[in-house]
């Protein structure tokens, strides 16, 4: 997107700077004031100019916006609003400071350290709670949407310096009533985190997300990759065969009470898997609480881990966010963030239910869940 196409205002947001460019969308930093006059910032994702004339893509983008506007859970990334301004379609998202689980895992491996067992279990429990909210969600009339994320991976789990765990990128989500259907023979998601039923291309349900989260849990507690091979075909064959190494034989002191939880999440036969993400979350919470009783211990551990692995980055990200609103778009077309920030550019935009027409910014309801 050229500088001449950079918007000055989108809905209630004044555009401050461009902070990311991708093949499908451009992301801006926007600022707005609430009724009390307090300023807030957001990441504003805008369809790229060359795609605005492609009705199919625009529909997918608006479908994603609609899905995000319905999700209200502390462990899911939050949409602040969405709409159109002229011919530009946009989504306003909360801007968070921190790192993804993949970033954390990679940094720990590079430093020869471990994430332990309790913190990964606690993180995955938070993700599972968020997934259950999405899986159970109905539309405005109460009809189940049957949302399946389809891309639950370490790259899409964000850990904030505010001690939050956020699942994001519903760009590949599947749900009832979608306008853009995935073509036959196309598998959505990262190969190493696909469920056996996705590999076999049979109809899937929420248990595919549970399997993917089980892979993340196995990897975070063993500090190894589960399905890694020289070629995608070898990965596919390993998933189809259901070959999951016994973590208790790979990792010293692996908790006996954690392993059955991992095993159940990774059952090749989904009928033997956890039926709901809430069941998985509850088992993980019980495991953590039995080892670390008390409220707030894990939150503090999360913040400490980020500071240990990414020395000085909390301060740099905070300084960037304080400085950013003072920059004028005309002076600095692209404002480089000090580290990956969420949300920037998703891996895809193949989302779901038919949204209403959007003449202006639309804020999601304020009711908590």
Q: Which residues contact 361 (CB under 8 A, 6 or more apart)?
A: 10, 11, 12, 13, 81, 82, 83, 92
How do strand 13-21 and strand 98-100 relate by DSSP bridges?
unpaired
Q: Which residues contact 215 (CB under 8 A, 6 or more apart)?
A: 192, 193, 226, 227, 266
In angstroms, the first-to-last Cα distance of the chain is: 38
How do strand 39-47 and strand 13-21 relate by DSSP bridges?
unpaired
- Cα dist from 8 to 5, 91, 222, 328, 329, whole Å: 9, 15, 48, 10, 8
Would you call 103 a catalytic residue per the annotation? no
Question: What is the CB neighbour count within 10 angstroms for residue 176?
Answer: 13
C-beta separation of 81 from 92 below 8 A? yes
Q: Considering the candidates 63, 103, 118, 151, report the single residue annotated as catalytic.
A: 151
In this structure, what is the dihedral angle of CA atoms 265, 269, 271, 272, given to the nearest 10 degrees? -50
Residue with tokens 């895992």: 105
DSSP structure string for 188-256: -S-GGG--HHHHTT----THHHHHHHHHHHHHHHHTS-SS--SSHHHHHHHHHHT----HHHHSTT--T
Using the CB atoms, write b or e for 335-366: b if 16+ within 10 Å. bebeeebbbbbbbbbbbbbebeebeebbeeee
Rounded CA separation 255/312 (Å):
33
C-beta separation of 324 from 41 below 8 A? yes
Active-site amino acid positions: 151
């Amino acid at each position: 997107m050229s500088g001449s196409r950079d918007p000055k205002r989108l809905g209630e947001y004044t555009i401050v700077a461009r902070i990311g460019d991708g093949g499908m969308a451009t992301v801006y930093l926007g600022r707005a004031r609430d009724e009390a006059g307090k300023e807030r910032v957001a990441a504003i994702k805008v369809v790229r100019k060359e795609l605005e004339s492609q009705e199919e893509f625009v529909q997918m983008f608006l479908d994603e916006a609609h899905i995000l506007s319905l999700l209200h859970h502390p462990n899911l990334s939050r949409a602040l609003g969405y709409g159109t301004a002229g011919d530009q379609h946009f989504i306003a998202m909360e801007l968070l400071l921190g790192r993804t689980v993949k970033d954390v895992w990679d940094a720990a491996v590079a430093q020869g350290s471990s994430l332990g067992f309790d913190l990964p279990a606690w993180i995955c429990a938070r993700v599972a709670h968020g997934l259950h909210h999405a899986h159970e969600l109905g539309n405005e009339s109460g009809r189940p949407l049957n949302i399946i994320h389809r891309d639950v991976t370490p790259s899409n789990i964000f850990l904030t310096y505010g001690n939050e765990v956020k699942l994001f990128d519903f760009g590949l989500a599947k749900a009832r009533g979608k306008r853009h259907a995935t073509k036959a023979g196309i598998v959505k998601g990262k190969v190493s985190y696909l469920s056996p039923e996705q590999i076999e291309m049979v109809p899937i349900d929420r248990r595919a997300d549970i399997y993917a989260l089980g892979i993340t849990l196995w990897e975070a507690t063993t500090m190894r990759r589960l399905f890694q091979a020289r070629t995608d075909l070898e990965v596919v064959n390993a998933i189809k065969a259901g070959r999951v190494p016994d973590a208790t034989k790979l990792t010293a002191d692996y908790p006996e009470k954690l392993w059955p939880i991992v095993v159940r999440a990774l059952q090749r036969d989904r009928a033997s898997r956890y039926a709901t993400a809430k069941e998985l979350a509850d088992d993980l919470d019980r495991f953590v609480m039995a080892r670390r009783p008390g409220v707030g211990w894990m939150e503090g551990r999360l913040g400490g881990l980020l500071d240990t692995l990414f020395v000085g980055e909390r301060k740099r990200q905070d300084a960037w966010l304080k400085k950013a609103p003072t920059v004028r778009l005309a002076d600095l077309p692209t404002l480089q963030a000090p580290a990956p920030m969420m949300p920037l550019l998703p891996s895809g935009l193949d989302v779901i239910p038919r949204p209403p027409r959007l003449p202006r910014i639309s804020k999601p309801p304020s009711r908590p869940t």
